[in-house]
Structure 1
Amino acid sequence: MASSAPIFYDDVLVYLGLLLLILSLVVQAVALIHCLTQRGDGFQAIGTLPKGAWAAILAVCIVLTLLLGSGATGIFSLIGIAAALIYLLDVRPGLKDLSDGKGFW
Protein backbone atom coordinates (compact mmCIF):
# COMPACT_ATOMS: atom_id res chain seq x y z
CA MET A 1 0.00 0.00 0.00
CA ALA A 2 1.57 3.24 -1.12
CA SER A 3 1.33 6.37 0.95
CA SER A 4 2.32 9.90 0.11
CA ALA A 5 3.17 10.76 3.74
CA PRO A 6 6.79 10.50 4.83
CA ILE A 7 7.78 7.52 6.96
CA PHE A 8 8.26 9.63 10.10
CA TYR A 9 4.84 11.33 9.89
CA ASP A 10 3.36 9.35 12.77
CA ASP A 11 6.39 9.99 14.97
CA VAL A 12 6.13 13.73 14.38
CA LEU A 13 2.45 13.68 15.32
CA VAL A 14 3.19 11.78 18.54
CA TYR A 15 5.92 14.22 19.55
CA LEU A 16 3.81 17.27 18.70
CA GLY A 17 0.91 15.88 20.72
CA LEU A 18 3.21 15.22 23.66
CA LEU A 19 4.68 18.71 23.41
CA LEU A 20 1.21 20.29 23.37
CA LEU A 21 0.13 18.19 26.34
CA ILE A 22 3.18 19.22 28.37
CA LEU A 23 2.66 22.87 27.40
CA SER A 24 -0.99 22.79 28.43
CA LEU A 25 -0.12 21.16 31.76
CA VAL A 26 2.55 23.78 32.43
CA VAL A 27 0.11 26.63 31.73
CA GLN A 28 -2.50 25.05 33.99
CA ALA A 29 0.05 24.41 36.75
CA VAL A 30 1.34 27.99 36.63
CA ALA A 31 -2.22 29.29 36.98
CA LEU A 32 -2.93 26.94 39.90
CA ILE A 33 0.30 27.80 41.72
CA HIS A 34 -0.33 31.51 41.29
CA CYS A 35 -3.87 31.10 42.56
CA LEU A 36 -2.75 29.20 45.65
CA THR A 37 -0.13 31.80 46.56
CA GLN A 38 -2.53 34.77 46.51
CA ARG A 39 -4.52 36.20 49.40
CA GLY A 40 -8.15 35.16 49.53
CA ASP A 41 -9.58 38.62 50.11
CA GLY A 42 -8.02 39.94 46.92
CA PHE A 43 -10.37 37.85 44.80
CA GLN A 44 -13.41 39.46 46.43
CA ALA A 45 -11.89 42.91 46.05
CA ILE A 46 -11.60 42.57 42.28
CA GLY A 47 -15.09 41.07 41.99
CA THR A 48 -14.34 37.58 40.71
CA LEU A 49 -14.92 34.05 41.95
CA PRO A 50 -13.47 33.25 45.39
CA LYS A 51 -10.00 31.80 45.70
CA GLY A 52 -11.36 28.35 46.57
CA ALA A 53 -13.49 28.24 43.45
CA TRP A 54 -10.59 29.18 41.18
CA ALA A 55 -8.31 26.68 42.90
CA ALA A 56 -10.91 23.92 42.55
CA ILE A 57 -11.56 24.68 38.87
CA LEU A 58 -7.87 24.71 38.01
CA ALA A 59 -7.03 21.61 40.06
CA VAL A 60 -9.91 19.58 38.62
CA CYS A 61 -8.91 20.57 35.10
CA ILE A 62 -5.33 19.42 35.68
CA VAL A 63 -6.48 16.11 37.16
CA LEU A 64 -8.91 15.46 34.29
CA THR A 65 -6.24 16.32 31.73
CA LEU A 66 -3.86 13.85 33.33
CA LEU A 67 -6.33 11.05 34.02
CA LEU A 68 -8.31 10.97 30.81
CA GLY A 69 -5.18 11.07 28.69
CA SER A 70 -6.87 12.24 25.53
CA GLY A 71 -3.95 14.52 24.80
CA ALA A 72 -3.83 18.27 24.41
CA THR A 73 -6.78 18.29 22.03
CA GLY A 74 -9.17 16.46 24.35
CA ILE A 75 -12.23 18.32 25.59
CA PHE A 76 -11.11 18.46 29.23
CA SER A 77 -7.64 19.62 28.27
CA LEU A 78 -9.10 22.42 26.16
CA ILE A 79 -11.43 23.42 28.99
CA GLY A 80 -8.45 23.42 31.36
CA ILE A 81 -6.40 25.59 29.03
CA ALA A 82 -9.32 28.00 28.68
CA ALA A 83 -9.81 28.21 32.45
CA ALA A 84 -6.09 28.74 33.03
CA LEU A 85 -5.87 31.45 30.37
CA ILE A 86 -8.94 33.23 31.76
CA TYR A 87 -7.31 33.19 35.17
CA LEU A 88 -3.91 34.32 33.90
CA LEU A 89 -5.20 37.02 31.54
CA ASP A 90 -8.10 38.38 33.59
CA VAL A 91 -7.80 37.60 37.30
CA ARG A 92 -4.00 37.73 37.67
CA PRO A 93 -3.65 41.32 36.35
CA GLY A 94 -6.44 42.41 38.69
CA LEU A 95 -4.70 40.83 41.65
CA LYS A 96 -1.40 42.40 40.58
CA ASP A 97 -2.99 45.85 40.33
CA LEU A 98 -4.56 45.34 43.74
CA SER A 99 -1.27 44.43 45.38
CA ASP A 100 0.61 47.25 43.63
CA GLY A 101 -1.94 49.84 44.68
CA LYS A 102 -2.64 50.80 41.07
CA GLY A 103 -6.23 49.54 41.03
CA PHE A 104 -9.13 51.33 39.42
CA TRP A 105 -10.71 52.11 42.80
Structure 2
Amino acid sequence: MTVFGLESGFMLVVELVLLAVKVFTFVNSLLWSSESYTAAGKLTKPAWSIILGLGLAVQVLMPGGPISLLNLVFTIAAFVYLADVRPALSNLTRRR
Protein backbone atom coordinates (compact mmCIF):
# COMPACT_ATOMS: atom_id res chain seq x y z
CA MET A 1 0.00 0.00 0.00
CA THR A 2 1.35 3.40 -0.95
CA VAL A 3 1.16 6.69 0.89
CA PHE A 4 -1.40 7.93 -1.63
CA GLY A 5 -3.58 4.91 -0.97
CA LEU A 6 -3.46 5.57 2.76
CA GLU A 7 -4.25 9.23 2.21
CA SER A 8 -7.23 8.52 -0.02
CA GLY A 9 -8.53 5.92 2.44
CA PHE A 10 -8.18 8.38 5.32
CA MET A 11 -9.94 11.14 3.37
CA LEU A 12 -12.78 8.75 2.54
CA VAL A 13 -13.23 7.93 6.23
CA VAL A 14 -13.18 11.64 7.15
CA GLU A 15 -15.72 12.45 4.45
CA LEU A 16 -18.06 9.67 5.58
CA VAL A 17 -17.83 10.74 9.23
CA LEU A 18 -18.57 14.36 8.31
CA LEU A 19 -21.48 13.23 6.14
CA ALA A 20 -22.89 11.25 9.08
CA VAL A 21 -22.53 14.29 11.35
CA LYS A 22 -24.33 16.52 8.85
CA VAL A 23 -27.15 14.02 8.32
CA PHE A 24 -27.59 13.67 12.08
CA THR A 25 -27.62 17.43 12.73
CA PHE A 26 -30.05 18.11 9.88
CA VAL A 27 -32.50 15.41 10.99
CA ASN A 28 -32.15 16.48 14.62
CA SER A 29 -32.89 20.10 13.73
CA LEU A 30 -36.16 19.00 12.15
CA LEU A 31 -37.29 17.08 15.24
CA TRP A 32 -37.56 20.10 17.54
CA SER A 33 -40.49 22.51 17.46
CA SER A 34 -40.10 26.12 16.41
CA GLU A 35 -41.07 27.24 19.90
CA SER A 36 -38.15 25.28 21.36
CA TYR A 37 -35.64 27.30 19.36
CA THR A 38 -37.25 30.54 20.50
CA ALA A 39 -37.36 29.42 24.13
CA ALA A 40 -33.68 28.44 24.00
CA GLY A 41 -32.77 31.85 22.57
CA LYS A 42 -31.22 30.43 19.39
CA LEU A 43 -31.75 31.04 15.69
CA THR A 44 -35.13 29.96 14.41
CA LYS A 45 -35.90 26.43 13.28
CA PRO A 46 -36.11 27.40 9.59
CA ALA A 47 -32.74 29.14 9.81
CA TRP A 48 -30.97 26.15 11.33
CA SER A 49 -32.76 23.73 9.01
CA ILE A 50 -31.69 25.73 5.96
CA ILE A 51 -28.09 26.08 7.16
CA LEU A 52 -27.73 22.40 7.97
CA GLY A 53 -29.64 21.28 4.86
CA LEU A 54 -27.40 23.39 2.63
CA GLY A 55 -24.38 21.94 4.38
CA LEU A 56 -25.61 18.44 3.67
CA ALA A 57 -26.30 19.33 0.02
CA VAL A 58 -22.84 20.86 -0.37
CA GLN A 59 -21.25 17.73 1.10
CA VAL A 60 -23.15 15.43 -1.26
CA LEU A 61 -23.25 17.46 -4.48
CA MET A 62 -20.06 19.50 -4.65
CA PRO A 63 -16.70 17.93 -5.36
CA GLY A 64 -13.63 19.00 -3.44
CA GLY A 65 -13.73 16.71 -0.49
CA PRO A 66 -14.03 17.63 3.15
CA ILE A 67 -11.40 20.36 2.98
CA SER A 68 -13.06 22.68 0.47
CA LEU A 69 -13.82 26.11 1.91
CA LEU A 70 -17.60 25.91 1.58
CA ASN A 71 -17.64 22.43 3.09
CA LEU A 72 -15.52 23.63 6.02
CA VAL A 73 -17.95 26.49 6.70
CA PHE A 74 -20.92 24.15 6.85
CA THR A 75 -18.99 21.60 8.91
CA ILE A 76 -18.29 24.30 11.49
CA ALA A 77 -22.00 25.18 11.47
CA ALA A 78 -22.89 21.54 12.13
CA PHE A 79 -20.46 21.37 15.05
CA VAL A 80 -21.83 24.66 16.44
CA TYR A 81 -25.28 23.11 16.31
CA LEU A 82 -24.03 20.03 18.15
CA ALA A 83 -22.08 21.98 20.76
CA ASP A 84 -24.43 24.90 21.42
CA VAL A 85 -27.94 24.56 20.02
CA ARG A 86 -28.70 20.88 20.63
CA PRO A 87 -27.74 20.99 24.34
CA ALA A 88 -29.83 24.14 24.82
CA LEU A 89 -32.81 22.47 23.17
CA SER A 90 -32.44 19.28 25.18
CA ASN A 91 -32.26 21.27 28.44
CA LEU A 92 -35.78 22.52 27.76
CA THR A 93 -37.30 19.09 28.24
CA ARG A 94 -38.05 17.97 31.76
CA ARG A 95 -36.03 15.00 32.93
CA ARG A 96 -37.58 12.47 35.29
Q: TM-score band, normalised by the shorter chain? A: over 0.9
User: Bigger radius of gyration, 1 or 2?
Assistant: 1
Unaligned 5+ residue runs, structure 2?
none
Q: Residues 1-105 of structure 1 correspond to what in structure 2 (within 5 A)?
A: 8-100=2-94
**% identity of equivalent residues:** 26
Partner residue in 2 for 1:4: none
Amino acid at match of 2:42: T
Amino acid at match of 1:31: T
Greater share of helix residues, 1 or 2? 2
What is the CA distance between 1:39 and its match in structure 2?
1.1
Partner deviation per Cα, 1:4-42 (whole Å, 9 max, x = no partner): xxx611111111111111111111111111101111100
Root mean square deviation, CA, Å: 1.2
Q: Report the secondary structure of 2:13's partner residue.
A: helix
Moved over 4 A (4+): none
Please report the TM-score for the alignment, with normalisation by the length of structure 1: 0.85
Q: How many residues align?
A: 95
